[in-house]
Structures are given as structure tokens and as C-alpha cells.
């Protein structure tokens, strides 16, 4: 039986290493493919994207979507990228993922009532992160961590803030949406609204915790990912 590749897209400010341990908790037929965006980890010398279009162009040309079945998982920014990339694949008449799992991001057709911070001066940027976003004081108060992480986080937030949703038909594929009960960036209602983006009944799971429930509730999150992947018909894999 061939492997089902799960392309995993990181949240804002994070890199591919966040997903590397996942394989131990997922079915044997699943191969984790962590995706790294420019500006972080082994690509730290590269300039991060501030708009989604060039990021999608890069992913379409560098990721292999032709060597067997695959699925997408993305948290926060990663969820938006996974969704937009799926649409791009459809538009170009390429093979689509067998499953799309989105986490910690409101359904993209909804108005996102969040302050725009990507172009704020440094002090205002940090103050707004403290007040409105689930960013730890440990990062913001550590000069070394902040110097490394904040430029990438600023660029990633600019990607989200410049994204313009287009009305298109819903995707004809299974969709799973995760959310955090206390997530200030995506309410349960906004997570359930992902149903509008699939022709099939969407599976929704709401976990305890804030925006980073994917860390605090990792075993439960991975159990749900494994369940969703096992639900893919065997002929797909």
C-alpha cells in the first residue's frame, strides 16, 4: 500500500520542525511532509513573503503533488495557505488533496475582525500583539527571541491581512475543521462556517484551550488527525 503524504503548513512565525514529531502518533500509512516557508529555520536567510500569491507560486513549483495521494493540514496561517493552495490546484486542474484539515482559522469567506498590524511601527506592533493576539510574553520580552521571530511573524500577519477572498464553488473533498474553545482569533461559530467551503459534510472538533490548543491539547489533536486520515477510503491510498 502506498503512503499518504500529509503536507503540514505552519502557523505564523513557526517553521517545519513543529510537525516533525507527528509521525509517531499517526497511522503507519501516513508520511508527514513538513513545509517550511522562507525566513525561518534552514531558510532563515531568505526574505519571507508578505503576500499569499508569491507563496502559493513557490509551493506549486517546489512541492511534489504527482507522486501519489496526499492530504493537507494547516494551523492558523497554515490553514489559510492550505485552503488557498487547494483552490490553486483546482484552478490549474491539478490533483487535489484527498483531505483538507484546517485548524485555528476562521472560515475564509467571513469578515475577519482583527486589527491590521503588519505595517505598524515596532512598538505599536508589539503592543498590539500583546493586546489582541495569543503571543506569549516570553517571546515578546526576550530580545534575542523577538529579534529572530518578530520579522517573520510580521510578514506572516501581512500575508493574512492582504488576503482577498474570492467567491468560488465549494471544494468537492472531505474537510475537517479544528478550533479552540477560548481562541480569540477564531470562534466556534467561525470554525463551523468552514462547512460552506466543502460540498461534503464537514467534521468539526472544538478543543479546550486558546489559539495554541494544538500544543496544549496535542495528543487529542493528533488523535483527531489520525481518525480523519483513517476515514479516507482505502482505494485512495
Q: What is the pLDDT of residues 170-221, one digit of tens each?
A: 999 999 999 999 998 899 999 999 999 999 999 999 999 999 999 999 999 9
The percentage of the chain sitting over the pLDDT mark of 90, rounded to a whole number, equals 63
Indicate which residue of 2, 21, 25, 76 is catalytic. 76
Q: In this structure, is residue 143 part of a structural domain?
A: no
Amino acid 143: pLDDT: 59
Distance from C-alpha of 187 to C-alpha of 109, rounded to nearest angstrom:
14
Query: Mean of the per-residue pLDDT values for the chain?
Result: 88
Q: In this structure, is residue 125 part of a structural domain?
A: no
Q: In this structure, is residue 151 part of a structural domain?
A: no
Print the domain residue range for 63. Answer: 4-110+166-231
Whether the Cβ atoms of residue 165 and residue 20 lie closer than 8 Å to each other:
no
Q: In this structure, is residue 192 part of a structural domain?
A: yes
Q: In this structure, is residue 41 part of a structural domain?
A: yes
Distance from C-alpha of 178 to C-alpha of 204, rounded to nearest angstrom:
6
Output the domain CATH number for residue 32: 3.40.50.1820
Number of domains making up the chain: 1
Q: What is the mean pLDDT of residues 30-52?
A: 92
Q: In this structure, is residue 22 part of a structural domain?
A: yes
Closest CA to 234 of 73, 27, 64: 27
Q: Which three cell numbers stand for residue 109?
A: 469567506
Question: Which residues touch 80 (CB under 8 Å, ≥6 apart)?
Answer: 52, 74, 105, 108, 159, 160, 163
The pTM of the full predicted model, rounded to 2 decimals, is 0.90
Distance from C-alpha of 150 to C-alpha of 45, rounded to nearest angstrom:
15
Which of 21-25, 62-66, 117-121, 222-226 is the least confident region? 117-121
Amino acid 236: pLDDT: 40
State which H helix or E strand residue 69 sits in.
Answer: none
Closest CA to 196 of 167, 221, 218: 167
Q: What is the mean pLDDT of residues 23-44?
A: 91
Q: Is 21 a catalytic residue?
A: no
State which H helix or E strand residue 54 sits in.
Answer: helix 52-62
SS3 44: coil
DSSP per position, 113-182 = -----TTS-HHHHHHHHHHHS---HHHHT-HHHHHHHHHHHHHHHHHHHH------PPBSS-EEEEEETT
Closest CA to 3 of 24, 44, 25, 33: 33
Q: In this structure, is residue 159 part of a structural domain?
A: no
Q: In this structure, is residue 118 part of a structural domain?
A: no
Q: What is the pLDDT of residues 79-132, one digit of tens each?
A: 999 999 999 999 999 999 999 999 999 999 998 777 677 677 766 777 766 765
Amino acid at each position: 500500500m502506498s503512503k499518504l503524504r500529509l503536507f503540514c503548513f505552519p502557523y505564523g512565525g513557526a517553521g517545519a520542525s513543529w510537525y516533525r514529531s507527528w509521525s509517531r502518533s499517526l497511522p503507519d500509512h501516513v508520511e508527514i511532509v513538513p513545509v517550511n516557508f522562507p525566513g525561518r529555520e534552514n531558510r532563515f536567510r531568505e526574505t519571507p513573503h508578505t503576500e499569499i500569491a508569491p507563496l502559493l507560486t513557490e509551493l506549486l513549483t517546489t512541492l511534489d503533488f504527482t507522486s501519489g495521494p496526499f492530504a493537507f493540514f494547516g494551523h492558523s496561517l497554515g490553514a489559510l495557505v492550505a485552503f488557498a493552495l487547494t483552490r490553486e490546484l483546482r484552478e490549474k486542474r491539478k490533483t487535489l488533496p484527498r483531505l483538507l484539515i484546517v485548524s485555528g482559522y476562521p472560515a475564509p469567506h467571513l469578515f475577519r475582525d482583527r486589527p491590521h498590524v503588519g505595517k505598524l511601527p515596532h512598538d505599536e506592533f508589539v503592543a498590539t500583539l500583546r493586546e489582541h493576539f495569543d503571543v506569549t510574553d516570553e517571546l515578546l520580552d526576550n530580545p534575542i527571541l523577538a529579534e529572530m521571530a518578530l520579522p517573520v511573524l510580521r510578514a506572516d500577519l501581512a500575508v493574512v491581512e492582504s488576503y482577498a477572498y474570492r467567491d468560488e464553488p465549494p471544494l468537492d473533498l472531505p474537510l475537517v475543521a479544528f478550533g479552540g474553545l477560548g481562541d480569540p482569533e477564531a470562534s466556534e461559530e467561525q470554525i463551523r462556517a468552514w462547512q460552506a467551503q466543502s460540498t461534503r459534510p464537514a467534521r468539526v472538533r472544538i478543543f479546550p484551550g486558546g489559539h495554541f490548543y494544538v500544543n496544549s491539547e496535542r495528543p487529542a489533536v493528533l488523535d483527531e488527525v489520525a481518525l480523519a486520515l483513517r476515514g479516507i477510503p482505502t482505494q485512495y491510498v
